[in-house]
């Protein structure tokens, strides 16, 4: 009985690590998209940047990644090449759903204050494009994202 409790605790801890890794990957994609042009960012007047809005959406993307990671965590950790292909596909799905959820969560204060408007659908739908736009704008991010997805896959594999 005690051994099952230890195994259950270790399994929950590893699942939490998988979820946190996927949340980090989602937050990283958003930040890469926002800070795509480092040269312009360095020259920018930081007092004019909407840092509160950026932080709000970064946290929202992290939460979206955590929720999407929790829902899709079962797709990670499978054996063999099929498992790796499934993990990479799941990583793209997590990034897509995290973008949608993160946009909806980030937009929630505006929805509550202004009410629902048609343009909000476009803003939330644009969240699905965070992954491809971040990778197109900053191609060096792709290997970093792959490493994070591989880490999530290997953590999930240890859990199985």
Largest CA distance in the chain: 61
Tally Cβ neighbours within 10 Å of residue 104: 17
Q: Judge residue 8's burial from the number of C-beta atoms within 10 Å of its C-beta, 0-12 exposed, 13-18 middle, 19 or more buried.
A: exposed
pLDDT tens digit sequence for 87-140? 999 999 999 999 999 999 998 888 888 877 888 888 889 889 989 988 888 888
Of residues 59 and 47, the one with the higher pLDDT is 59
d(CA 11, CA 13): 5
pTM (2 d.p.): 0.81
Q: Is the dihedral of CA 137, 140, 146, 151 positive or negative?
A: negative
| Torsion on CA atoms 18, 23, 29, 31, rounded to nearest 10 | -140
The whole-number average pLDDT for the span 24-38 is 83
Of residues 52 and 91, the one with the higher pLDDT is 91
């Amino acid at each position: 009985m005690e051994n099952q409790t230890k195994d259950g605790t270790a399994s929950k801890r590893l699942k939490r690590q998988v979820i946190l890794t996927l949340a980090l990957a989602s937050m990283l994609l958003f930040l890469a998209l926002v800070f795509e042009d480092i040269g312009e960012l360095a020259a920018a007047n930081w007092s004019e940047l909407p840092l509160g809005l950026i932080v709000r959406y970064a946290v929202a993307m992290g939460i979206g990644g955590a929720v999407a990671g929790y829902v899709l965590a079962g797709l990670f950790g499978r054996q063999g090449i099929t498992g790796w292909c499934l993990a990479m596909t799941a990583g793209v799905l997590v990034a897509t759903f995290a973008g949608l959820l993160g946009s909806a969560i980030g937009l929630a204060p505006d929805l509550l204050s202004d009410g629902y408007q048609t343009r909000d659908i476009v803003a939330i739908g644009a969240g699905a494009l965070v992954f491809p736009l971040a990778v197109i704008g900053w191609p060096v991010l792709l290997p970093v994202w792959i490493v994070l997805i591989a880490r999530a896959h290997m953590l999930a594999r240890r859990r199985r």
